[in-house]
Structure 1
């Protein structure tokens, strides 16, 4: 488990606080230590890749068949409807420990051997993930629980969507380092197709806690800027004008720094431009964006990826990025399934002043949508606060 030591630029008050502190650098949380603080050269695949053996793959296949025979909607996938052996259940539960108290990154490998079709892969992804983190997030704006990360740039645009941009998960351009804002504690990605050798789309991860410690020592004013609740997030609405929501990009609770820095709602993108009526970022905020990006590049590592992998990434402490892919006139075959998750047994306490924001995706009773095929890549189902 990570431990925390006091820094000269921090105070015991911040270590004990359960609310987000947004004042001077001496109120920033202490420097963090432990396995979640790492540089790219220190995080080898052998430390985070967990491989399924043939009997475990067969157990998962049997669970998929068992669930299909129940005739239930996919929203009913959970440990009781997706039965696994106690040994495999324990193996998957250990992944939650690794992503909450270890490096923050874990990859489950070997499901490619099951040769699942699209429906089976969706069931397997949700079923296996339920043993790692029991709760699945559903975006209240997009009403999506599982989304498809794919190249939709070649899709024929329907008339109603002529002025609607594709979400970041549907385009092939590179993505800077980010943590998806108020989307969920854990990011889970199932690699259905990696796009092929030398096709781009490489994934990168960086420890925000390593970045935090670096800035706390060398430039704490950047952290002060991030923790101040005046970042101008533009939140899209389905049939109305977007609205402004001010908030921080850095939170604290019980000594844990939590990053929720995503650029699309702050800067817009070529496909989804920012509304001109929205305020621009300050010079200090732009400097913070640049500094965090440069440190993430310095400390990152390329995520080891194979077809069939299920990746689990702590969305509060680990930043992720993606290289461009699919150059040329042909549609890329790269295809990942994505969910955001929470493990109630391991979930970090959230800052009191923003607890509602963090908890909203996990509102009990909200309808879950786990589509096998991505039929609507436009803003109708695209989250407004995540990706890029």
Structure 2
């Protein structure tokens, strides 16, 4: 068991002294004169966003068992649906095909399939968040668990995206307990048990997670509607929105794209988000920021702090259960995680997939599209059965370690972000 207690989330920051904990943000916000004029929202942007993507987590939580905006946030599997999933997994295994070959046509779900297609529609055109609950995932071995996750996900989003080093699957599991000389450097939060600040994953339209095992305590998943965050900031701190939408404050993922990506975007009456803080501050055992960017200004620190703690104010917090599959629209929402205590003999373990659905995929803002096009040129073919196999590939390639900083932009196309 871990020997230290979990830090209360309001006291957490990915970079002490740089990124604000909750109290620091509140103090910075309160330091402005009471009647200070923060100006208006970015030019051409609305003063308020409306529609199903605008939600407060407290409302979603209160309606977990009821219909909300014509969709249920949580779908609890029936015994018939569970049996259908198990049969589909066995059917795929009999084909003797690689894991990369899993798709709707060879993972038949005649009864559950239409429900999953409804989830796909809701992810893109509804609330942008769904949870599938009740599958007994711990009854299956490592390969079967991956088959089941990929098979179910194929009905929700038909295109799997590369998560770096050709991975079609990523293991979210702490490797803190492994001797540092025997593993790659930790510089993504998928590999430790610290809390996470709100972020977009570097790639993907839809982020999917399945909980194979849950921690001894903590580790709750949190998701915030970025549209709700926008509405709050548009009313109280539009200056933060102008900074995040501006041309001068951009982020990359391992240098892709070279000229960076704006943090928030407005296109076709939709707001898009795609950013996290690691470009600007580094993380864990690779704490150096991307040296292409100067240190954060106080204004930028306040903007990131405002976005973080307003997101926390409106978030939906979920204690995932073993077998849960959570999907989040990565273009419109951001997600985070509470810190957790692990039992190393029975540790927290999630699988992650990045995907898009061809039926519902929208036109993307140009710089997000350019980044995704650079990252996702190849179909993923590497499906590691555990975090050790995954980390071995990291070390072999030199990607996701400090050595990536010495590679050229072309060599660093593959990327990862928690």
TM over 0.5, shorter chain: yes
* Distance (Å, rounded) in 1 between the aligned partners of 2:416 and 2:263: 12
1:372 maps to which residue? 385
- SS of 1:347's equivalent in the other structure is coil
Q: Which moved more, 1:52-61 or 1:276-285?
A: 276-285
Cα 1:304–1:200 change in 2 (3 A) is closer
The alignment status of 1:31 with 2:35, answered yes or no, reads no
* Distance (Å, rounded) in 1 between the aligned partners of 2:172 and 2:225: 23
1:356 maps to which residue? 370
1:267 maps to which residue? 281
The alignment status of 1:309 with 2:309, answered yes or no, reads no
The alignment status of 1:95 with 2:109, answered yes or no, reads no
The alignment status of 1:180 with 2:211, answered yes or no, reads no
The alignment status of 1:194 with 2:207, answered yes or no, reads no
- SS of 2:80's equivalent in the other structure is helix
Cα 1:131–1:185 change in 2 (3 A) is same
2:80 maps to which residue? 55
* Distance (Å, rounded) in 2 between the aligned partners of 1:332 and 1:268: 29
Post-superposition offset of 1:153: 0.5
Cα 1:176–1:276 change in 2 (3 A) is closer
Q: How does 1:121-160 map to 2 (within 5 A)?
A: 121-139=145-163, 141-158=164-181
The alignment status of 1:323 with 2:338, answered yes or no, reads yes
- SS of 2:104's equivalent in the other structure is coil
- 1:2-29 deviation line (CA, Å, top 9, x unaligned): xxxxxxxxxxxxxxxxxxxxx9722224
Aligned residues: 352
Q: How does 1:51-130 map to 2 (within 5 A)?
A: 51-85=76-110, 87-112=111-136, 115-130=139-154
- SS of 1:26's equivalent in the other structure is coil
Q: How does 1:276-291 map to 2 (within 5 A)?
A: 277-278=291-292, 279-291=294-306
- 1:245-297 deviation line (CA, Å, top 9, x unaligned): 43311112211111112111221123211158442123322111000011011
Post-superposition offset of 1:158: 4.1
- SS of 1:107's equivalent in the other structure is strand
* Distance (Å, rounded) in 1 between the aligned partners of 2:250 and 2:288: 11
The alignment status of 1:41 with 2:58, answered yes or no, reads yes
Post-superposition offset of 1:111: 1.2
Post-superposition offset of 1:154: 0.8
Q: Is the 8 A contact 1:203 1:320 kept in 2?
A: yes
- SS of 2:308's equivalent in the other structure is helix
Post-superposition offset of 1:138: 0.4
Structure 1 portions without partners, runs of 5+:
1-22
Structure 2 portions without partners, runs of 5+:
1-39, 66-71, 401-413
1:223 maps to which residue? 241
Q: What is the TM-score normalised by the length of structure 2?
A: 0.78
* Distance (Å, rounded) in 1 between the aligned partners of 2:170 and 2:43: 41
* Distance (Å, rounded) in 2 between the aligned partners of 1:384 and 1:280: 22
Q: What is the TM-score normalised by the length of structure 1?
A: 0.83
Post-superposition offset of 1:356: 2.2
- SS of 2:265's equivalent in the other structure is strand
Choose the corresponding residue for 1:258, options 250, 269, 272: 272
Cα 1:296–1:158 change in 2 (3 A) is same
* Distance (Å, rounded) in 2 between the aligned partners of 1:200 and 1:132: 28
2:3 maps to which residue? none
- SS of 2:312's equivalent in the other structure is helix
Q: Is the 8 A contact 1:185 1:315 kept in 2?
A: yes
Supply the RMSD in Å over aligned alpha carbons. Answer: 2.5
- SS of 2:218's equivalent in the other structure is coil
1:19 maps to which residue? none
* Distance (Å, rounded) in 1 between the aligned partners of 2:416 and 2:266: 20
* Distance (Å, rounded) in 2 between the aligned partners of 1:308 and 1:314: 20
